[in-house]
């Protein structure tokens, strides 16, 4: 027996109406979805006739829907679309492949990302404004280049090493020049390899205690160059991500010369302290950078000033005004000509306002750039010596005066006496002539006596002076 299936057949008009309504709703949902896209979206058929154009396409391509729907895409936008759009759209259709590319869109002065998807009926195109991300990438690239420049063109050695294996990941030219290794050699090494053998154990301990990911650290250590030279360096490091690896960026400052100069300075200061204790002179140490002058006990013992640190202006104020220009000029000339030593005399003020004569013997210390950094001097009190010299000079002047008296005042009466004696000695001299000459002879003798008394008095006065 054959069963017949019962069929329910709806009226044709009802079925068609429901179907059309459902189709309209579906189409509206699709349109809503397409209109909600943040990307520009449009479709063309095989003849490049535009069949769909959403609102973002209107904004991005500066063309409203009513001006382009059902019209040829290339005819409407022929003067707005760059050549590459034409090439890639046609290639996508011809080869039936999806294509994605970026292009500058001059119409709106923006960068866009374009994605094409061919179908049997034509081509669907998505266009996204990527100007912001493009600018972000540009800025990022500039930052990357800036970093590379800061790294590679830095005058101080820098490198990046892997935190796990301690292997060098990158080094700059300054490190290559300073340490003597090539870049290829560096990249085959670890940071242990630039440590002196006797420092490796201490370095390993420092790795465990001081070098922590994400924490900046600074330390003073020793490194060894390729030629074996040991250098004292200041190392500053911080954590970075380098090519997806946890790494450390390190900057190195060579302090070998600085520390050597510091040791020499300390030794010099030690000797200075010993000398200043052993001498009665006033020793001064002028720090030109900080503009201060340090004095030893002589500043109090000789001049009465308290023992302390004075400014360089105070030092200048103690120099006698009549000597200041000469002293200042001598110091400037010494510095200008890079002369290591200077010796000059001038007057220096005491605490009570009086002045004493001093002999200042100074030497200057220059740094490795030939710039003056310190001047050290010794003030010797020569007041008594200057007074003695002045007394001798005064004595000499008086002796010159006595000599003049002797050669002129004495000679005049003496000449008269000698002349009268010669006349008296003549054989034919009578007594009448003799009576005339004796008073003259007496007068000349008295004149000579007065001159001799004057000489004796001047000599005695000068002697007691």
Query: What are residue 72's phi and psi, to 5 degrees?
Result: -70, 125
Amino acid 464: pLDDT: 46
Long-range contacts of 42-46 (CB under 8 A, 24+ apart): 42/73, 42/124, 42/125, 43/122, 43/123, 43/124, 43/125, 44/73, 44/122, 44/123, 44/125, 45/121, 45/122, 46/93, 46/121, 46/122
Amino acid 193: pLDDT: 95
Tell me 38's DSSP state. S
Amino acid 338: pLDDT: 85
- CA 156/CA 238 separation, integer angstroms: 16
Question: Which secondary structure element, helix H or strand E, spans residue 445, and what is its range?
Answer: helix 431-464
Amino acid 446: pLDDT: 74
- CA 246/CA 462 separation, integer angstroms: 95
Amino acid 91: pLDDT: 95
pLDDT tens-digit profile, the chain (465 residues): 333 344 444 455 556 666 566 666 555 566 556 565 678 999 999 999 999 999 999 988 899 999 999 999 999 998 878 888 999 999 999 999 999 999 998 878 899 999 999 987 899 999 999 999 889 888 888 888 888 888 888 899 999 999 889 999 999 999 999 999 999 999 999 999 999 999 998 888 888 876 666 678 888 999 999 999 999 999 999 988 888 888 999 999 999 988 888 888 778 767 766 766 667 788 898 988 888 898 888 898 899 998 778 998 999 999 999 999 999 999 999 888 888 889 999 999 999 999 999 999 998 988 888 888 889 899 999 998 888 888 777 777 776 666 666 556 666 666 767 666 666 666 555 556 656 666 777 777 777 677 767 766 666 665 444
Beta strands in 34-188 (DSSP E): 40-45, 50-53, 99-105, 110-119, 122-129, 158-162, 168-171
């Amino acid at each position: 027996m054959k069963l017949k299936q019962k069929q329910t057949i709806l009226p044709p008009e009802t079925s068609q109406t429901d179907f059309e309504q459902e189709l309209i709703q579906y189409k509206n949902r699709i349109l809503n979805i397409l209109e909600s896209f943040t990307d520009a979206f449009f479709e063309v058929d095989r003849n490049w006739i535009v069949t769909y154009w959403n609102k973002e396409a209107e904004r991005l391509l500066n063309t409203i829907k009513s001006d382009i729907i059902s019209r040829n895409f290339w005819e409407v936008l022929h003067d707005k679309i760059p050549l590459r759009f034409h090439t890639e759209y046609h290639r996508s259709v011809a080869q039936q492949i999806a294509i994605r590319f970026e292009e500058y869109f001059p119409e709106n002065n923006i960068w866009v990302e374009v994605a094409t998807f061919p179908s049997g009926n034509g081509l669907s195109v998505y266009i996204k404004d990527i100007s912001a991300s493009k600018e972000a990438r540009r800025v990022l690239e500039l930052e990357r280049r800036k970093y590379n420049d800061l790294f590679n063109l830095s005058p101080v050695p820098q490198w990046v090493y892997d935190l796990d294996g301690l292997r060098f990941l990158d080094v700059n030219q300054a490190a290559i020049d300073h340490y003597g290794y090539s870049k290829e050699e560096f990249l085959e090494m670890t940071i242990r390899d630039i440590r002196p053998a006797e420092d490796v154990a201490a370095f390993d301990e420092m790795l465990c205690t001081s070098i922590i990911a994400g924490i900046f650290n600074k330390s003073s250590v020793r490194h060894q160059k390729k030629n074996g030279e040991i250098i004292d360096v200041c190392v500053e490091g911080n954590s970075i991500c380098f090519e997806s690896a946890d790494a450390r960026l390190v900057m190195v400052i060579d302090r070998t010369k600085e520390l050597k100069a510091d040791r020499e300075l300390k030794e010099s200061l030690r000797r200075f302290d010993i000398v200043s204790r052993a001498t009665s002179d006033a020793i001064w140490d002028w720090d030109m950078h900080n503009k201060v002058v340090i004095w030893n006990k002589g500043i109090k013992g000789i001049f009465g000033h308290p023992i302390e640190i004075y400014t360089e202006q105070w030092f200048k104020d103690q120099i006698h005004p009549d000597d200041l220009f000469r002293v200042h000029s001598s110091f400037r000339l010494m510095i200008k000509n890079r002369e290591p030593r200077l010796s000059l005399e001038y007057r220096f003020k005491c605490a009570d306002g009086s002045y004493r004569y001093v002999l200042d013997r100074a030497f200057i210390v220059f740094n490795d750039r030939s710039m003056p950094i310190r001047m050290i001097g010794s003030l010797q009190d020569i007041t008594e010596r200057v007074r003695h010299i002045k007394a001798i000079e005064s004595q000499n002047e008086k002796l010159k005066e006595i000599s003049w008296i002797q050669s002129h005042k004495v000679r005049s009466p003496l000449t008269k006496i000698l002349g009268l004696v010669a006349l008296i000695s003549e054989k034919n001299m009578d007594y009448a002539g003799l009576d005339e000459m004796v008073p003259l002879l007496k007068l000349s003798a008295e004149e000579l006596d007065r001159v001799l008394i004057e000489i004796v008095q001047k000599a005695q006065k000068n002697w007691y002076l």
